[in-house]
Amino acid sequence: MALRDVLGLYSDIDSAVAGVDKLAEVGIHREDFEVLSNAPYPEGAFGHDHTTSRLGLWPVVGACCGFAVGLLITGGTQVVYPMVTDGKPLFSIPPMVVIMYEGTMLAAVIFTVLGAIFESRMPRFSREIYDTRITDGYIGVLVHSPEESVNSAAEAMRATGAEDVRMAEARATKASQPARANRKGASA
Amino acid sequence: MATVTGGHHVPEPSPVTRAWDYTPGQLVRDGLQRLRAKGQWYRISLIILAILTVIGIIALIVQAIASGWGDRENWGYVAVAFGYIMSTVAAAPCVCVAGRLTRAHWRRPIDRISEIWAAAMIVPAILFLLLMWTVPNTHGRPTIWFGWWAAPYLWDAILVLGLAFTGYALLYVSSIPDLAIARAQIEDGSANWLTRKAEGFFGTQSQWRVIERAVAYLGAFYVVMYIGTMTVIAADFIMSLIPGYKSAIFPAYFAISGFGGGVAVVVVTASIMRLWGGAEDYLGREQFFALAKIQLALGLLFAYFIWTDFVIPWYGRMPWEILQIRLLYFDSYLWYFVAAFALCFISPLVLLMWTKLRRGRVGPFIVSSGVLIGLLADRIRLFSSAFSDKDITEDRLHALPPVLHPGVLDWLIVIGAIAACIALVMLAMRLIPVPSIWEMTEGTRLRARRRFHNVEVTIIGKPDY
Amino acid sequence: MQERRNLPQMEVIQELLLPVTRTTMWMWIGFIVLGTILAAFAFAVAWMFYWGIGVTGLNRPGMWGFMIVDFVFWIGISHAGVMISAILRLTQAEWRRPVTRAAEVMTMFSLMTAMTLPFIHTGRPWRTAYWVFPYDFWRGIFPDVRSALVMDPSAVFTYLTGTILFIYITTVPDIATLRDRSTGWRKGLYRVLALGWQNDERQWMIQAATGFLLAALMLSIFVSVHSIVSWDFSFSLDPVWHTSVWAPYFVIGAVHSGVSAAVTLMVLMRWMFGFDKYIREEHFDAIGRLLVVVATAWVFFFMLDVFFALFNQDPRETAVMKMRFEQWPYTLMLVLIFVFGYFIPVPIWMFRKFRRNIKLMFWTSIMVNIGMWSERYWLVVPGLERKYEWTFDWNFYRPGIVEITIILGTFALVPFLFMCFSKIFPPVSIWEEKEGQNFLQEIKVGKASIPAIVREF
């Protein structure tokens, strides 16, 4: 089945919300379009987006890795290079705690950032359809529509005050994999 | 129930306090109803607490007659009871002060729950007066008083009794508008004696300004007094009784862990009020979520301060430093320390780091109950090691002093003191509306639910940003 | 009082991108003056490398002087970013929005500056590098992890890495804005750095969640960093250094000086970039209230440090404390610490009218940092000057011209780097400002209209 992206650009939020509602009326599900804006709006302002992410797991995995590396460095170097300093035990746990803590935190931060990039579907340098006016304050409604619904989506957006409606070239996807399945956690 | 707008499912708004939607009239009726209607369980609980208190007082008298004030170690668990109540009951009013200073909205339903604990401040004040006889003067031992007249007795007494007085003043001043409401609304002659103290309050704008300022200043003063009091208790009742123990972080640790206890008291009280106190509509997830965040932060600070207290002598490694950490952390009071560390740090960290548990009502309740138990273990560790048998005029610790485990009398005293505090708070709830009617009413004016395009959102007014 | 206004989107973008798109006269003056000082700094460092640290005032046993004091000071300043950004983000304080980016950037550059100082201070930094990184699996020789001097770089490195990543991830939406509005090499740079950000809902959701996660993580790191810096001193047995309170005391002092430095920066951004509409009096009011609490907590820890140093009347500790209280220049330092660090600014900040006076806030914030620099000196230097049982000498430290120039250079380096940053990225977060406007509401209570915000629980 061929999918096609249609981008409608609205100059204000009221008409963008009207456009979103109109899309629902013409049978385009919430999972099949996304709203682009240059700053976040209160959650649910354009209808509830069912997107979920696993971002919370990333720092946990990172922390475990960092802890392990910290343990290896602090424990390992004390074992392979036994040297008594100031009467402290050859295997001193308190100093290890400090460095393991730092290692845990460092890796947790790095993994969180990597997770944020990955979960945001980035990096993605080539976009089929995008409009720089979005960062100027326009609100974009990007519909991932089957070829046969493209015109009704575009018409719905024009009817609700979209200043500009642009269409990308059609792209082929597997027939069994509708657009909504591409978005994790999608549910009716 | 989910709403449908424009063909889209809009989620149910996060469960917040239902009382925000009450009208002022509903808030007044509800508050007064709770003030007057105390059921059978209330009476049964009060009777049990009264019995425990009496048993505790008898145990205290037996202790005094049997051993006098000469043997300090016999008073170790009176000190534990005093330290524990100072770290929980006396810290509870600080929670509402923090909320008021930061202009948080979630705090309104828990403000009175927090400050009502000031009603029990007479208990630590009495315990302190008893303990004063057991603490030696400052001659020939380390002290922070550096030769001040009548030190440490006079200055410690000023702080502890001043704190108790400030607590009562804070509770009274903050309750005046509600007492005035009770005076005006309860017409059948059953209004309590305290409402007559609010006869001059009619709610003029200037009176409101005075009340707001007085509550803010008294609250700030209470917190400052609390930190000062905990600092001198830590110095005079613990550090100066352990030869060579010199840890500048310790008073701060003592105060910070007390704040953790205060939050735990508020969470547990709020949970009980929600389940059995008829305040279900006032105490939503919003309150428990916010309190749980503070509990988590204070748990982390608990560990940080403990760590700092431990790691400096560990690095110093002088013989008396090693003995000091063996006494406080390892040999003597190892299991008390383990219990305290597990319940005051590990449990808040492991449970409350998960948003789902933090957002729930059960998670914060379990963690806070644990913190209250952990703090008791911690106070046993600290006061017992301070009150155990040793020569406190020596400049260093030369051997580990004997461990002071609690006996039956000791437990009765500790339980009796705690029961007395709870009984006093329950009695105070018969006189003063809990939660605060006027603060809730003010809160409803600064909150609104509005439609924001496809979603209903909560709007919060921020007069001072 | 309603001071916030809903501004047109384009106006917000254009005004907040002003430092990137235009170089004002004040910026030119700043670049020239700071550049000149930096040239002197570079010369002083080169001079010291060539002749050795004999050209400084360092001598046995007082080997930690101006440069280490300055290192501690800049680490302290770096605590502004996380204090403002992380704590205020976690507590959902609205007034953080125009301050966060600048405070985070100040954190990054002050950390970089701080990190250079211990290296310069050794006189032969290339040898230091050789000693610090001998992870030598062939010979089996490793640094002693029990030393605080191993913990310290690991903490500072963690903090710096975390801060850079934090700034980067929260700047990506603004970089995308720049990508869409630039040409030439800038376009290429922003395109790569924006990673293909397209402003969709999922990306905003992840951005918000990442902000909270990183804030919580950075908060934990921030507390550890200055604690570990304090342990460089207090793990030793030196009188007045060997104390358990220094870790939280250093942290709260750092917050005091860092937040005050953020006030200085806010005023400078108003003056240099004309951000009057974004950094308003209400922001100074809020930060002034915060500073009253922070300053009071700092004084509490200061008192703990002094009182418990004297607590058990150890003659060695008492002697150093006596020197700190009675001997020049420590007496002057003590006056500066108390008068500039607390007794002048805090009473001023107690009054709303004064908190909203920008010039007054600027000068009080400068005062605090003079007091805090003195405090670092008062804490660090006297501890090593006296003879103890394990030293064989005593020395009175007096900084040389080389050190003074290096210190002045660090005070030029941080603002210079900040201005360079402002030429490439917006120093006030554009998207957070716009988010604030999207969430802005109003509640009517009688005749009063109260500013309000949408709160997502």
Q: Are B104 and B17 a contacting pair, CB within 8 Å?
A: no
Cβ–Cβ gap A45/B452 under 8 Å: yes
Å between C49 CA and nearest CA of chain B: 34
Q: Is the peptide bond before B406 cis (omega within 30 degrees of 0)?
A: no
How near does any CA of chain B get to the CA of A20, in Å? 8
Quick check: C202 and A49 CB within 8 A?
yes
Residues of A whose CB is below 8 A from C10: 136-137
- Local structure of B450: helix, strand or coil: strand
Does B220 contact A at CB distance below 8 Å? no
Give the DSSP letter string of B163-208: HHHHHHHHHHHHHHHHHHHHHHH--SS---GGGGGGTT----HHHH
Backbone angles phi, psi at C145, to 5 degrees: -70, -10
Say if CB B20 and CB B443 are below 8 A apart. Answer: yes
Cβ–Cβ of B454/A20 closer than 8 Å?
A: yes
**Average confidence (pLDDT) over C130-156:** 78
Specify the amino acid at residue C447: K
Q: Which of B311, B323, B300 is nearest to C231 (CA)?
A: B311
Instruction: Decide the pairing of beta strands B8-10 and B455-461.
Output: unpaired
CA distance A36 to chain C (A): 4
C177 touches chain A (CB under 8 A): yes
Instruction: Name the residue of chain A whose CA is nearest to C158's CA.
Output: A106
Which of C196, C197, C454 lies at the smallest CB-CB distance from A42?
C454
Which residues fall within 8 angstroms of residue C433, CB to CB, at 6 or more apart? C12, C16, C97, C98, C278
Amino acid at B407: G
Which is nearest to B270 in space by CA: B414, B116, B167? B116
Is the minimum CB–CB distance between B311 and chain A shorter than 8 Å? yes
In whole angstroms, give the CA distance from residue C261 to residue C267.
10
CATH number of C9-126+149-453: 1.20.1630.10
User: How is chain B split among helix, strand and coil, in percent rounded to 5?
Assistant: 70, 5, 25
* pLDDT of amino acid A61: 96
| pLDDT value at residue B107 | 92
Nearest-CA neighbor of B91 among B375, B339, B343? B375
Q: At C3, is the pLDDT very low, low, confident or very high (cuts 50, 70, 90)?
A: low
DSSP-derived secondary structure for B377-403? HHHHHHHHHHHSSS-TTSSS--SPPPP
d(CA C341, CA C348): 12
Tell me the C-alpha to C-alpha distance, in Å, between residue C250 and each of B385, C178, C329, C395.
29, 39, 22, 26
* C61 preceded by a cis bond (ω within 30 of 0): yes
CA distance B286 to chain C (A): 8
Task: Tell me which long-range contacts C177-184 makes (C-beta under 8 A, separation of at least 24).
Answer: C177/A38, C177/A135, C177/C13, C177/C17, C177/C430, C177/C431, C178/C17, C178/C20, C178/C425, C178/C426, C180/A132, C180/A134, C180/A135, C180/A136, C181/A132, C181/A135, C181/C13, C181/C17
Phi, psi torsion values for A164, nearest 5 degrees? -150, 135
Residue of A5, A55, A106 to mutate, interface with C, max C Cβ within 10 Å: A106
Query: In this structure, what are the phi and psi dihedrals at residue A144, rounded to the nearest 5 degrees?
Result: -100, 95
Mutation target vs C (from B308, B444, B449; most C CBs, 10 A cutoff): B308
Report the distance separating Cα A134 and Cα A162, nearest Å. 13
Does the domain spanning A2-53+128-182 belong to CATH 3.10.129.10?
no
Q: Mutation test of the interface with chain A: which of B449, B450, B454, B459, choosing the one with the most A Cβ atoms within 10 A?
A: B454
CB contact under 8 Å between A21 and B9, yes or no, is: no
- Interface mutation vs chain B, best among C291, C311, C351, most B CBs within 10 Å: C311
pLDDT, tens digit, for every residue of C220-265?
898 999 999 999 999 988 888 999 999 999 999 999 999 999 999 9
pLDDT of residue B178: 92
Q: For C282, which residue in chain B has the nearest alpha carbon?
A: B465
CA dihedral A37, A41, A46, A48 (to 10 degrees): 120
Q: Which of C245, C292, C303, C321 to mutate to test the interface with B (most CBs of B within 10 A)?
A: C245
| Strand ranges of the sheet holding B447-452, from the earlier edge strand across to the other edge | B447-452, B455-461, C448-455, C440-445
ipTM (interface predicted TM): 0.92
Q: pLDDT of chain B along its 465 residues, tens only?
A: 333 333 344 444 445 678 888 899 999 998 888 887 778 888 999 999 999 999 999 999 998 888 887 788 889 999 999 999 999 999 999 999 999 988 888 999 999 999 999 999 999 999 999 998 888 888 877 888 888 888 889 999 999 999 999 999 999 999 999 998 888 887 766 666 777 777 788 889 999 999 999 999 999 999 999 999 999 999 999 998 998 888 999 999 999 999 999 999 999 999 999 988 888 899 988 899 999 999 999 999 999 999 999 999 999 999 999 999 999 999 889 999 999 999 999 999 999 988 888 888 899 999 999 999 999 999 999 999 999 877 888 888 888 998 999 999 999 999 999 999 999 999 999 889 989 999 999 999 888 888 888 788 888 887 765
Number of domains observed in the structure of chain B: 1
Residues B293 and C429: their CA atoms lie apart, in Å, by 27
The answer, for B10 touching chain A at a CB cutoff of 8 Å, is: yes
Residue A119 to residue C206, Cβ atoms within 8 A: yes
Question: A with B: how many residue pairs have Cβ under 8 Å apart?
Answer: 57
Interface mutation target, options C244, C287, C379, chain B, most CBs of B under 10 Å: C244
CB contact under 8 A, C244 and B309: yes
CB–CB contact B146 C310 (8 Å)? yes
Long-range contacts of C401-405 (CB under 8 A, 24+ apart): C401/C44, C402/C44, C402/C47, C402/C48, C402/C55, C402/C56, C403/C56, C403/C57, C403/C65, C403/C66, C403/C67, C404/C66, C405/C40, C405/C41, C405/C43, C405/C44
Burial letters C160-184, b for 16+ CB under 10 A, else e: bbbbbbbbbbbbbbbbbbbbbbbee
Angle between helical axes of B92-101 and B285-316 (0-180°, round to 10): 110
Residues of B within 8 A of C312 (CB-CB) are 142, 244, 246, 395
User: For chain C, what is the radius of gyration of the CA atoms?
Assistant: 23
Q: How many CB atoms lie within 10 A of CB C39?
A: 12
The CA distance from B194 to B182, in Å, is 10
Question: In terms of C-beta distances under 8 Å and separation of at least 24 residues, what long-range contacts does C55-61 make, across chains too?
Answer: C55/C400, C55/C402, C56/C399, C56/C400, C56/C402, C56/C403, C57/C397, C57/C398, C57/C399, C57/C400, C57/C403, C58/C397, C59/C395, C59/C397, C60/C391, C60/C393, C60/C395, C61/C384, C61/C385, C61/C387, C61/C391, C61/C393, C61/C394, C61/C395
> In terms of DSSP H, where are the helices of chain A?
13-25, 57-80, 93-119, 150-159
Domain that holds residue B212: 3-460
Rounded (5°) CA angle C303-C225-B223: 35
- The model's pLDDT over C283-301, given as tens digits with 9 standing for 90+, comes to 999 899 999 999 999 999 9
Chain A contacts of B453, Cβ < 8 Å? 13-14, 17, 45-46
**Whether B14 contacts chain C with CB within 8 A:** yes
Could A30 and B310 be called an inter-chain contact, meaning their C-beta atoms sit closer than 8 Å?
no
What pairing do the DSSP bridges indicate for beta strands A139-146 and A33-36? antiparallel
First to last CA, chain A: 21
Inter-chain touch C217–A112, beta carbons under 8 Å = yes
Residue of C nearest to B253 (CA): C245
Chain C residues with beta carbon closer than 8 angstroms to that of B247: 244-245, 308
Q: Looking at CA atoms only, how far is residue C293 from chain B in angstroms?
A: 10
Is C161's CB within 8 Å of A88's CB? Answer: no
Region of B113 (left: φ > 0; alpha: ψ -120 to 50; beta: rest) is alpha
DSSP alpha helix (H) spans, C133-181? 148-179
> Could you tell me which residues come within 8 angstroms of residue B183 by beta carbon, excluding any fewer than 6 positions away?
B191, B195, B196, B198, B199
The set of chains that have 3 or more CB pairs under 8 A with C is A, B
Residue of A nearest to C203 (CA): A120
pLDDT at C132: 65
Asked whether the beta carbons of residue C199 and residue A110 sit closer than 8 angstroms, the reply is no
Inter-residue contact A40 to C438 (CB < 8 Å):
yes
3-state SS track over B232-255 = HHHHHHHHHHCCCCCCCCHHHHHH
Whether residue B252 and residue C312 make contact (CB cut-off 8 A), yes or no, is no
Q: Which of C44, C86, C109 is nearest to C404 (CA)?
A: C44
A14, A182 Cβ separation under 8 angstroms: no
- For residue A116, give the nearest of C210, C218, C435 by CB distance: C210
User: Which chains form contacts with chain A, at 3 or more CB pairs under 8 Å?
Assistant: B, C
Q: pLDDT digits over C101-133, tens only?
A: 999 999 999 999 999 999 899 888 888 777 666
Give the nearest chain A residue to C176 (CA atoms): A135
Smallest CA–CA separation between A28 and chain B, in Å? 10
Q: Distance of alpha carbon C344 from its chain centroid, rounded?
A: 22
